[in-house]
Structure 1
């Protein structure tokens, strides 16, 4: 399992940082997809919508339902199953799919223990490093509803790209632009509400 990694990101979450090394040579499509979406701010504010105790935690769906998600490529992308990469311990990061081949999008999971049943079915593209695995385990220990969703879901505040192995990615919109758009929308909404309030006061 001592393959050289290339690329590193830190998920800044509401339960602390999760430091992830990328296997960008073995799974270039999956890693490029993740980095490109992160550059666009796609994962900002996304919750961990699914927890299966002693198995995995899952995130990456902007709808928070598990039924959404989109890839940077505009369509689901194919699996990258590498013979030497196997889900043999906790802290491994893989593409979530809809149960069929080549159906990867923005959703991903992190394992909480060995998960042999995922081998050959899910693209493995990274691993948690250092003590940040304990923040993943914290998510794995949360109280859940009957649909495997945490009662108080933690969320990704933003993704910090420490080492980008793909210097040719051109985001459709940068995370900073996206945040600026969001601020502008919120400001416009506040102004509309203020105008409505003034109208109401004049009557």
Structure 2
């Protein structure tokens, strides 16, 4: 079991490959962490697929349409670029070319992706279950995509 220091700022994702526990980076990206938590509490992510999974790079999800073009009905977020390095297990927001267009889509880095540093908002870090993320079906989109069964804030679980 993960060492959860702050249940209010920890997410538990039940995925088709097993549990993934993410610690929110509330100091580095307060608005993004709050948005992910808010959407989790609204069950927004439940059933959403990982629609873009690139070996050695990242797994992207958070789009209710599964197309990579969708998001929540909430307004886009202003960028909160920070000093967190995009390395294995880091969770960051996906966005369009507009730096202030992050909404609900996010990705989990499989490997070093530091070329994304200070261009995408890192908002979390996998503290347990990265081996389950490693098992996600690859593709853009994958033939048989994996999904988030449920995403909960640990304090609510």
Same fold (TM over 0.5): yes
Kindly provide the CA deviation profile for residues 137-193 of structure 1, in whole angstroms up to 9, marking residues without a partner as x: 111xx253xxx21110011111121148xxxxxxxxxxxxxxxxxxxxxxxxxxxxx
Q: Number of aligned pairs?
A: 150
Larger C-alpha radius of gyration, 1 or 2?
1
3-state secondary structure, aligned to 1:11: strand
Which residue does the alignment assign to 2:102?
104
| Contact 2:55 2:138 (8 Å CA) reproduced | no
| Contact 2:13 2:148 (8 Å CA) reproduced | yes
Question: Residue 114 of structure 1 is aligned with which of 107, 112, 118?
Answer: 112
- CA shift, 1:52, in A, is 1.3
Which residue does the alignment assign to 2:152?
160
Q: What's the TM-score, normalizing by structure 1?
A: 0.70
CA distance in 2, matches of 1:143, 1:123: 23
CA distance in 2, matches of 1:91, 1:125: 11
Which residue does the alignment assign to 1:150?
142
Which residue does the alignment assign to 1:191?
none
CA distance in 2, matches of 1:116, 1:99: 18
Q: What's the TM-score, normalizing by structure 2?
A: 0.90
CA RMSD between the two structures: 1.5
Higher relative contact order (CA 8 A, sep 6+): 2
The structure with the greater share of residues assigned to helix is 1
The structure with the greater share of residues assigned to strand is 2
Equivalent residues in 2 for 1:179-190 (5 A)? Answer: none
When residues 81 and 143 of structure 1 are mapped into structure 2, their CA distance, relative to the original with a 3 A threshold, is: closer
Q: Which runs of 4+ in 1 moved over 2 A?
A: none
